[in-house]
Structure 1
Amino acid sequence: MGVRSVLIMVAYDVVVIGGGYYGCFVAYQVAAWFPTSSVAVLERADALFTRASGANRGQLHQGYAYSADLELAAQCARGSAVFAEQFPGAVGAGTSTVFGVHRDSEISPDGYREFCRDLGLPLAPWPSRDFGPDVVASFQSVERTFDNARLAAIMVERLAGVDVRLGHGVNRVVPRDDGSHDLVMADGTVITAGVVYNATFADINPLHDRSCFPRVPLRTEVFLHFLVGVPDSCHDAGLVVIRGPFASLMPSNAGHVLAATGLRTMATSDTESLSEYVDPGQIDKTYAEAVRECSGYLPALLDSVYQGHSIGTRVVFTDTRTGGTTSRAMPLTDFAGITNYHVVVGGKVPCLVEVLEPVLAVVRR
Structure 2
Amino acid sequence: MSDAAAPPRGGTWDAVVVGGGFYGACIAAYLVRQRGLERVCVVEREPRLLSRASFNNQARVHNGYHYPRSFTTAFRSRVNLPRFVADWPDAVKRDFTKTYAIARRNSKVTSRQFVRFCREIGASLRPADEAVASLFAPRLVESVFDVQEWAFDASVLAAWAREELARCGVEVRLSTRATAVRRASEHELVVHVESGEEGVRTPGGATAAEDILVTRLAFNCTYAGLNQIAGDFGGVRTGLKQEITEIALLDLPHPLRDIGVTVMDGPFYSMMPFPARQLHTLTHVRYTPHLQWVDRPGIDPYGRLSDYEGGTRAAWMLRDVARYMPGIADASYVESLFEVKTVLMKNEANDARPILFESNADLPGFFSVLGGKIDNIYDVLEELDAYAL
TM-score normalized with structure 2 length: 0.83
1:248 aligned residue: 270
Is 1:227 aligned to residue 249 of structure 2? yes
Q: What are the Cα deviations for residues 323-355 of structure 1, in whole angstroms up to 9, with x where unaligned?
A: 7664333322x2345311111112211222110
Q: Which amino acid aligns with 2:340?
A: T
1:106-129 CA distances to partner (integer Å, 9 max, x unpaired)? Answer: 111111011111222100023542
* Distance in 1 separating the partners of 2:356 and 2:308: 27
Deviation per residue, 1:161-214 (Å, 9 max, x gap):
21212233111110123232111123442111101110011111111x554414
Distance between the aligned counterparts of 1:210 and 1:176, measured in 2?
Answer: 11
Match of 1:122 in 2: 124
Counterparts in 2 of 1:272 and 1:211: CA distance versus 1, 3 Å: farther
Counterpart-to-counterpart distance in 1, 2:18 and 2:249? 32
Contact in 2 for aligned 1:79/1:350 (Cα 8 Å): yes
- Partner-residue secondary structure (3-state), 2:74: helix
Q: Which residue does the alignment assign to 1:205?
A: 227
Q: Is 1:175 aligned to residue 183 of structure 2?
A: yes
Distance 1:237 1:326 in 2: 26
> Residue 7 of structure 2 contacts residue 212 of structure 2 at CA under 8 Å; is this kept in 1?
no
Tell whether 2:279 aligns with 1:277. no
- 1:163 maps to what in 2? 171
Pair 1:290 & 2:296 matched:
no
Structure 2 equivalent of residue 335 of structure 1: 360
Matches of 1:325 and 1:56, distance apart in 2: 17
3-state SS of the aligned residue for 2:301? Answer: coil
SS in 2 for 1:155: helix
8 Å CA contact 1:316–1:326 kept in 2: the answer is no
Three-state SS of the structure 1 residue aligned to 2:114 is helix
Counterpart in the other structure of 2:32: 31
Quick check: 300-309 or 266-275, which moved more? 266-275
State the Cα RMSD in Å: 2.3
Which letter does structure 1 place at the counterpart of 2:322? S
Corresponding position of 2:205 = none
Aligned to 2:3: none
Secondary structure at the counterpart of residue 247 of structure 2:
strand
How far off its partner does 1:278 sit? 4.8
Alignment counterpart, residue 111 of structure 1, candidates 105, 110, 113: 113
Whether 1:92 aligns to 2:114 is no
Indicate yes or no: 2:277 matched with 1:257: no
Inter-partner Cα distance in structure 2 for 1:129 and 1:336: 57
Aligned identity (percent) is 26
User: Cα–Cα, structure 1 residues 345 and 244, in superposed 2: closer, same or farther, change >3 Å?
Assistant: same
Deviation at 1:276, TM superposition (A): 3.5
Structure 2: gaps (5+ residues)? 1-5, 195-208
Q: What is the CA–CA distance in structure 1 between the aligned matches of 2:17 and 2:7, rounded to whole Å? A: 24
How far 1:67 moved relative to its partner? 1.6
The alignment partner of 1:240 has SS state of strand
Q: How far off its partner does 1:246 sit?
A: 1.4
Partner residue in 2 for 1:62: 63
Equivalent residue for 2:147, pick from 137, 141, 144: 141
**Residue 228 of structure 1, CA deviation:** 1.9
Q: Does 1:348 align with 2:358?
A: no
Q: Give the distance between the partners of 2:253 and 2:37, measured in 1 at CA.
A: 55
Q: Which residue of 1 aligns with 2:74?
A: 73
TM-score (norm 1): 0.88
Q: Deviations over 1:220-249 (max 9, x none)?
A: 222112222323222211121111231122
What letter matches 1:67 in structure 2? P
1:49-68 CA-partner distances (Å, limit 9, x unpaired): 12212323432222212222
Does the CA contact (< 8 Å) of 1:14 and 1:195 recur in 2?
A: yes
1:11 aligns with 2:17: no
The residue aligned with 2:386 is 361
Letter in 2 for 1:355: V
Aligned equivalent of 2:203: none
CA contact (8 A) 1:96 1:140 kept: yes
Question: Do the aligned residues in 2 keep the contact of 1:331 with 1:342 (CA within 8 Å)?
Answer: yes
What is the CA distance between 1:219 and its match in structure 2?
1.7
1: CA distance, partners of 2:163 / 2:136: 43
Distance 1:50 1:230 in 2: 25
- In structure 1, how many angstroms separate the alpha carbons of the residues matched to 2:309 and 2:352? 24
Deviation, 1:39, is 1.3
> C-alpha displacement at 1:32, in angstroms?
0.6
SS at match of 1:327: coil
What do residues 83-105 of structure 1 show as CA deviations (whole Å, max 9, x unaligned)?
11111121222421121111221
CA distance in 2, matches of 1:218, 1:325: 14
